[in-house]
Chain A
Amino acid sequence: MDTLIAQLQRQFRDYTISLYHQGFLDDQFTELKKLQDECSPDFVAEVVTLFFEDCEKLISNMARALDQAGNVDFKLVGSSVHQLKGSSSSVGAKRVKGLCITLKECCDSQNYEGCVRCLQQVDIEYKTLKAKLQDLFNLEQQIVQAGGRIPQVDI
């Protein structure tokens, strides 16, 4: 008979592993978790918060640039996507990063349609990740609230 804590911990472990296996996260996320300690117990949450804020800002910048029909500043889009790429590499947002590479290519070849499509996907991806990480953090909270410890998950 599984206790609630054990169930939650298992869910947490499985969910974490799935995120890696499905390419949402890469080992940079693992590194982030390693940095979290007693001095900064919410380090990972804080960092990903910053990242998602950055996503929003940069995507909105790019959307605006692409909206200038006929006069799209591809350089601006390019520099924004470069920043987003850097940002996504900081938290291990693997899919977002991959899409940034594609978007950069579209930008370099001034492929408007491609840029727009790619940007849409980037938007979807970061929001997906945001939701998933939220789930993960919620699970953590529940484990702690139930009196358990958050298991260390080795990928």
Chain B
Amino acid sequence: MEKSGFSPVGLRVLVVDDDPTWLKILEKMLKKCSYEVTTCGLAREALRLLRERKDGYDIVISDVNMPDMDGFKLLEHVGLELDLPVIMMSVDGETSRVMKGVQHGACDYLLKPIRMKELKIIWQHVLRKKLQEVRDIEGCGYEGGADWITRYDEAHFLGGGEDVSFGKKRKDFDFEKKLLQDESDPSSSSSKKARVVWSFELHQKFVNAVNQIGCDHKAGPKKILDLMNVPWLTRENVASHLQKYRLYLSRLEKGKELKCYSGGVKNADSSPKDVEVNSGYQSPGRSSYVFSGGNSLIQKATEIDPKPLASASLSDLNTDVIMPPKTKKTRIGFDPPISSSAFDSLLPWNDVPEVLESKPVLYENSFLQQQPLPSQSSYVANSAPSLMEEEMKPPYETPAGGSSVNADEFLMPQDKIPTVTLQDLDPSAMKLQEFNTEAILRSLNWELPESHHSVSLDTDLDLTWLQGERFLANTGLQFQDYSSSPSLLSELPAHLNWYGNERLPDPDEYSFMVDQGLFIS
């Protein structure tokens, strides 16, 4: 029997961020923490993934700003439907934003740039949540089975149990069976304390019950519970859900867009057991960690469940439910149908243009994979400084002979006409043309060498250059001082100037370098 205690290894993290750079970095960082990482560039996609595999993830990390869905909205969905811990991230650390995150139920709010040490400890949120579930169960006064479940769970989570892996095991199936048995056994305690997952159907019943009562503010948990007619649900479950629901409503009232979904819910036949089985899934008896050997357990789990909730089927329980098609305040739009196609058609954010959809990373275009500059190849062959100077000249079109470039040269960069024009070389300029930014560029005297004389903004640009260059010139000097060995200076004066002088080549030269060199555009 292994008593290794709790281990965060294999924690299944879902990262949601529309920034491809951050997504790549976070993936790498989380992998270094030995977590199992899934990345996602869109909130919609994330929700789909989460719903498809209800037990597929342990924790969600999401950025606050995303094009297709507000991160807070995603947070709400995840919290209400799946009850997974969610960590928010943003480059913006404004107190109001952080507060909003907390209000929406985030268990943490990280500021970008995020450090490894912050990611290393995210597992505590998962553990905390699980322990809370255990306490919830205890608090509900479970008879007989409660102790068993509690002990089982604690041992399970804290790693002192029979096995330390956190996947679904035989015990979990036994637990579910027990639940189902108790469910069908009329003499069993009516206070069934499975960990309640507020599935779409369940929440629907809840909402309908609330609607029936009339005003959600007057609706009490007991009344709602009675109306819902879900035998295994307790007053406490309803009470806590009602609390969340009220919070959600009040947020909506504060000027958030009210989204209404007409009842576009698909109906398919499935056994009433679905709901129970699925809530059984979410029971604490079934932890959701999977160690590397544990994947088979998840598969096993899905085998057992004939119709996972995430598929487009709904349990029969729902057919009794009234689905008022009209707009009502209490008909909240945060429970879209499970199937993604229905989801897409109903969600208003479908209208958001997918301009900023994350694109796949094009590794082929990385710096290192393109042809080196011809002059560069001879760089290595020659160690003599004078030769180096020679080699360095061509790629940079050094106007002043390359030995020393001073600040004056940069006042009028447009005077230096490079041998290649912007249009020839810079595909990004081409792209800009497509979008008609060329017009702006011309008028703003941005990158075109010949247009430096007329526009009023010109002087501003020059000033900018001037200011920038002063800064650089100063630091260039500092750099030269910085170099500790005088021999370096004497040996490679040109080189030092090249790197150290920090001259700011004009954008045209950049384009030249950029496209001759190793850049993707």
Contact = CB atoms under 8 A, between A and B. Distances in A.
A86 B437 contact: no
Given A22-B475, A86-B91, A128-B510, A121 B464 contact: yes
Contacts, number: 184
Contacts of B90: 86
Interface stretch (B205-213, B218-226, B495-503): B495-503
Contacts of B519: 52, 130, 134
A44 to B, nearest CB: 9
Nearest to A137: B367
B495 A11 contact: yes
B437 A63 contact: yes
A56 interface: yes
A32 to B, nearest CB: 7
A35 B22 CA distance: 13
A54 B355 CA distance: 12
Interface in A25-45: 28, 31-32, 34-35, 40, 42-43, 45
A145 interface: yes
A102 interface: no
A79 B24 contact: no
A120 to B, nearest CB: 6
A35 B30 CA distance: 11
A17 interface: yes
A90 B32 contact: no
B431 interface: yes
A145 B431 CA distance: 35
A49 interface: yes
Given A2-B491, A50-B20, A90-B25, A67 B510 contact: no
Contacts of A91: 21
A11 B356 contact: no
A18 B502 contact: yes
B488 A10 contact: yes
The residue among B32, B63, B368 with the most chain A CB atoms within 10 A of its own CB is B368
A116 B113 contact: no
Contacts of B367: 42, 45, 48-49, 133-134, 137
Nearest to B90: A86
B475 A67 contact: no
A143 to B, nearest CB: 9
A94 to B, nearest CB: 11
Interface in A69-125: 79, 82-83, 85-87, 89-92, 116-117, 120-121, 123-124
The residue among B365, B380, B487, B520 with the most chain A CB atoms within 10 A of its own CB is B380
B22 A87 contact: yes
In this complex, the interface size class of chain B, counting residues with CB under 8 Å from chain A, is 35 or more
Interface residues of A, number: 65
A90 B112 contact: yes
A54 B21 contact: yes
A60 B437 contact: yes
Given A43-B28, A46-B366, A63 B432 contact: yes
Interface string B345-381: 0000000000110000111011110001000100110
B107 interface: no
A123 B508 CA distance: 12
Contacts of B22: 86-87, 90
B499 A135 contact: yes
A49 B366 contact: yes
B483 interface: yes
Contacts of B446: 120, 123
A124 B507 contact: yes
Nearest to A85: B91
Contacts of A89: 91, 112-113
Given A90-B25, A116-B457, A134-B519, A14 B20 contact: no
Contacts of A133: 367
Contacts of B368: 42, 45, 137, 141
The residue among B92, B113, B356, B431 with the most chain A CB atoms within 10 A of its own CB is B113
A149 interface: no
B332 interface: no
22 contacts: A11-B495, A14-B482, A18-B500, A31-B116, A35-B29, A42-B366, A45-B367, A46-B24, A52-B520, A83-B65, A87-B22, A90-B21, A90-B25, A90-B112, A116-B440, A127-B507, A127-B514, A130-B510, A130-B519, A133-B367, A134-B514, A137-B518
Sorted nearest first, the 5 A-B pairs with minimum C-beta distance are: A86-B91, A63-B437, A45-B367, A90-B21, A67-B440
Interface of B: 18-22, 24-25, 28-29, 32, 63, 65, 90-92, 112-113, 115-116, 355-356, 361-363, 365-368, 372, 376, 379-380, 383, 428, 431-432, 435-437, 439-441, 444, 446-447, 457, 460-461, 464, 468, 472, 475, 478-479, 482-483, 487-488, 491-492, 495, 499-500, 502, 504-505, 507, 510, 513-514, 517-521
